[in-house]
Chain A
């Protein structure tokens, strides 16, 4: 969609500094919510023994996803270049329908809204929404 302005990037980086240390909890909560609220996403995890939102596999996956988002924040100036390997992984191996990026983004925003009710202002919300959309685009870069 739109490119991230300097103001957007600042807002994301500033807010992310507050997230520091809580990434694991946030990631696991976001993935748990994704599985609970959008059960169709479970189709990507048929190889898990336990598909319940609180399962060890779900927790582990939440941590993995969150590490990726944190990495993207550090590469915010060049998401397409910086996330090349992850993009290839999603394109050729995982083949996650890009519609699902919107789903996990929304769940992540809900978790952030709960954990940071005062800091997650509308201005921070729009910057993060733009960032996550740009991140999704970068991940889908190699799809076709």
Chain B
């Protein structure tokens, strides 16, 4: 089981309580599709992903980015058992969506960078460590049901 310090718990709850989902979600997914273009392979039906401007302005990307970010809410509410919280989603990503689990890390790096820009100086090294630990647990849980 993952051990969380009081600081880590408080930090995660705080970040998500202030989260601007409709800004951060779309920005993180768009950045992932731009910086790691091979991730576009999973979004063949999203229309125009031809260049950075098209990706950033694509409404399907925006909608999906928001969806993904809200997907983290359950982990925030169940920090003591993220593994079983995401068991079903893990199966979905493996069996139905066929997403290479390496991509989860790419998206979480982009999310870290976008959240950093949002929080500015508040995103200290300690806060970053807590946030990345949280995302690492999420990523690990999402990859768990692959076989």
CB B38 to nearest CB in A, in angstroms, measures 11
A86 within 8 Å of B by Cβ?
Answer: no
Question: Given A110-B113, A113-B116, A114-B120, does the pair A122, B125 have CB atoms closer than 8 Å?
Answer: no
B104 within 8 Å of A by Cβ?
Answer: no
B31 within 8 Å of A by Cβ?
Answer: yes
Are B128 and A33 neighbours in the complex by a CB distance under 8 Å? yes
Residues in chain B near residue A35, CB distance under 8 A: 125
B10 within 8 Å of A by Cβ?
Answer: no
A27 within 8 Å of B by Cβ?
Answer: no
Residues in chain A near residue B55, CB distance under 8 A: 122
Are B125 and A109 neighbours in the complex by a CB distance under 8 Å? no
Given the complex of chains A and B, what is the CA–CA distance between A37 and B130 in angstroms? 8
Are B117 and A114 neighbours in the complex by a CB distance under 8 Å? yes
Chain A interface size, under 10 / 10 to 19 / 20 to 34 / 35 or more: 20 to 34
The dominant DSSP class at the B interface is: helix
* Number of inter-chain CB pairs below 8 Å: 55
Given the complex of chains A and B, what is the CA–CA distance between A40 and B56 in angstroms? 36
Look across to chain A and name the residue whose beta carbon is closest to the beta carbon of B125.
A36
B112 within 8 Å of A by Cβ?
Answer: yes
Chain B interface size, under 10 / 10 to 19 / 20 to 34 / 35 or more: 20 to 34
Cross-interface CB contact of A37 among B113, B114, B129, cutoff 8 Å = B129
Question: Given A122-B34, A123-B52, does the pair A114, B121 have CB atoms closer than 8 Å?
Answer: yes
Cross-interface CB contact of B113 among A33, A53, A109, A123, cutoff 8 Å = A109
Residues in chain A near residue B34, CB distance under 8 A: 122-123, 125-126
The dominant DSSP class at the A interface is: helix
B30 within 8 Å of A by Cβ?
Answer: yes
Are B116 and A110 neighbours in the complex by a CB distance under 8 Å? yes
Mask of A119-130 contacts with B, CB within 8 angstroms, 1/0: 011110110010
Given the complex of chains A and B, what is the CA–CA distance between A125 and B44 in angstroms? 23
Are B31 and A114 neighbours in the complex by a CB distance under 8 Å? no
Are B31 and A37 neighbours in the complex by a CB distance under 8 Å? no
Residues in chain B near residue A114, CB distance under 8 A: 116-117, 119-121, 123
CB under 8 Å from chain A, chain B span 2-42: 30-31, 34-35
Interface residues in chain B, defined as those with a beta carbon under 8 Å from any beta carbon in chain A: 30-31, 34-35, 52, 55-56, 109, 112-114, 116-121, 123, 125-126, 128-129, 132
5 closest pairs, A vs B, by CB?
A36-B125, A122-B34, A117-B117, A126-B35, A37-B129
Q: Can you give 11 contacting A-B residue pairs, CB < 8 Å?
A: A37-B132, A113-B114, A114-B117, A114-B121, A117-B117, A117-B118, A120-B117, A122-B35, A122-B55, A123-B34, A125-B35
